[in-house]
Amino acid sequence: MPRYYTRACNFYYGSKSKFLVKQKKAIPLNGNSEISFDKIEIISRKTQKKIPLKKINSLPKNLRKLVKKNLKLISQKKKSFENFNFRNNPNIMGVLNMTPDSFSDGGKFNKYNLAIKQLNYLFQSGANLVDIGGESTRPGSKPVKSSIEWDRIKDVLKKINKKNMVSLDTRKSEIMERGINLGVNLINDVSGFNYDKNSINIIRKYKIPFVLQHSLGNPDKMQDNPKYKNVLLDIYDFFEEKIKFFKSVGINHNKIILDPGVGFGKNLKHNMTIIKNISIYHSLGLPILLGISRKKFIKEISSDNDSSLRLGGTISSSLFAMMQGVQILRVHDVNEVIQSIKVFKELIK
């Protein structure tokens, strides 16, 4: 039998969602009645078909069993950890790049006073956590020495208020361990823990939550004609295999966040396929993070209407992701994105 995947689709939000859930005409996503769905898409590498929930029982036995197993994972409540509350989606991850060369804000916050000011602003604006990085991983970037990366971020990490949740954006096990010892709450390795093989040992040793991101190769060459057999399903299989590997080496906690890595070894078509179908990853049973802030796909779509901060494209794609049940949005403009979410939620009550 071909390998099949289940994607929740035809979502409802707000008061309409609550009504349909109460009438048992829709299933709440992650146990949250504010967002629900009444159809699924059954996907293989050759076919895809949308069906209403009421037709699941008419599927062949083996396929029906798989779909029901996936639905259980899609609908079950997500356990909160650290400063996340998965009952109040989306959570907002602010971005603080302490680098001279990040793609959007390189050089803006690579001085201590500027970084502290921005960090405080992001938390005051409502960020649930802030992702701090000392190495640019933009397309075409080269790796920097651990000593340079650490020197960029160490003073700010030492001043972190323990009430605030901080994520460390790094590919290096040495930086991970130093950051964890200073109170970092989450590790965000854009390489999917492929860059530094010792990073797995650090994750296992400290039992720390982490983001598992998909990336096709290293930043210096990842945008050189990236190819997939099926980008959506290739990433799904990557996640599934990695999660099994983590369990096999003794990483037994489920405090894992999935990030399909928009812009990391993907062209416009790949990125659009991922964002439009992001809900497929709910069937893995783990929270989803999406980093779409200011990225190149916004420029490629908007063409003459591109802008330096790409705020319009960031907000529109953030709201779309929220409607697909994405639990964490990684954004630069925390205040403006939260403002858009508040207005949207009020309008859809």
Active site (catalytic) residues: 295, 330
> Tokens 């416009």 correspond to what residue?
268
Question: Hey, which residues does 131 pair with through a beta bridge?
Answer: 95, 167
Q: What is the CA radius of gyration of the chain?
A: 20
Q: What's the one-letter identity of residue 105?
A: D
Q: What is the 8-class DSSP label of residue 5?
A: E
Mention every residue, 6+ apart, whose C-beta is less than 8 A from residue 290. 259, 260, 262, 275, 278, 321, 326, 328, 329, 330
Query: Do 102 and 136 form a contact (C-beta atoms < 8 A)?
Result: yes
What torsion, rounded to 10 degrees, do the Cα atoms 294, 299, 304, 310 define? Answer: -10
Assign 3-class secondary structure to 189-245. ECCCCCCCCCHHHHHHHHCCCEEEECCCCCCCCCCCCCCCCCHHHHHHHHHHHHHHH
Distances (CA, A) of 298 to 115, 262, 306: 26, 11, 7
142 burial (CB, 10 Å; 0-12 / 13-18 / 19+) is: exposed
